[in-house]
Amino acid sequence: MSSVSLVASAQLPTPWGVFTMTGFKEEATGKDHVALSMGDITSDAPVLARIHSECLTGDALFSLRCDCGFQLQAALQRIAEEKRGVLLYVRQEGRGIGLLNKIHAYHLQDHGADTVEANEALGFAPDLRDYTICADMLKALDVKSLRLMTNNPRKLKAMETHGIHIAERVPLEEGKNRYNEFYLATKAGKLGHMLHE
C-alpha cells in the first residue's frame, strides 16, 4: 500500500518554463507534497530528478544560512534545460523537525553549535526525513530510473531500498557563501554529504 495518494495536477508556469504540478497527500500525517515535472518522465530512460525537502527560510525567505534555495532554483533550471525531469518538493522542514524547532536550532547555532549538535540538543536525530513517501510519489508518477541531483548518500540508498533505480548521481553544489561555510562543512564531515568545493 502506498504512503501517499495522488490528488490533482495542474500547469505551473515558472521563470524556467512550464511544469506540471502534481499534488500528493501523505496518508499517515495528512501533509501535502508536490512534484514538478516536465516532459515524458515515464519512459525507460533515466529521469533527471531532485528530491527537495521544504526549507521556508532558504526557498522563500532567501536565507544564506543554507544552500537549499540555491539548490531548488538550480535543479528547476537544469530540468528545464533538458526539457525533461521531475522535482519532488517534500514537506519535511529542517530535516524533519519542523519550522519552529528549526528556529530553535538556529538559535543554538548562533551560539556555536553545528547543525547536527543543535538537532541533538533539542532531542532529535540529525536527520528525521522519511524517503518512503518520495519513492511512492515517483512510483505513482511511473518513474522507473533516476539521474538524481543530490550530494546526500542517504537519498541514494533510500531510493534503491524502495525500488527506484539510480542510474547516476548528479552533484548539486550551489550557493556557498560566508554564512553557510560551517553548515556545509558539517554536512560533509558529519552527515557524509559528497561535497567537493
* Phi, psi (degrees; rounded to nearest 5) at 10: -160, 165
Which of 50, 65, 78, 129 is labelled catalytic?
A: 129
DSSP 8-class letter at 36: E
Establish whether 154 is a catalytic residue. no
CA distances from 87 to 22, 65, 110, 111, 185 (A): 10, 22, 32, 34, 25
Q: Is 164 helix (H, G, I), strand (E, B) or coil?
A: coil
Cell of 75: 535543479
Tell me how far apart the alpha carbons of residues 39 and 56 are, in angstroms, rounded to a whole number. Answer: 27
Torsion of CA 6, 159, 101, 54, to 10 degrees: -50
Query: What is Dmax (Cα atoms) for the chain?
Result: 50
Which of 127, 130, 154, 169 is labelled catalytic?
A: 127
Tell me how far apart the alpha carbons of residues 135 and 52 are, in angstroms, rounded to a whole number. Answer: 13
Establish whether 91 is a catalytic residue. no
Tell me how far apart the alpha carbons of residues 91 and 97 are, in angstroms, rounded to a whole number. Answer: 11
Residues marked as catalytic: 127, 129
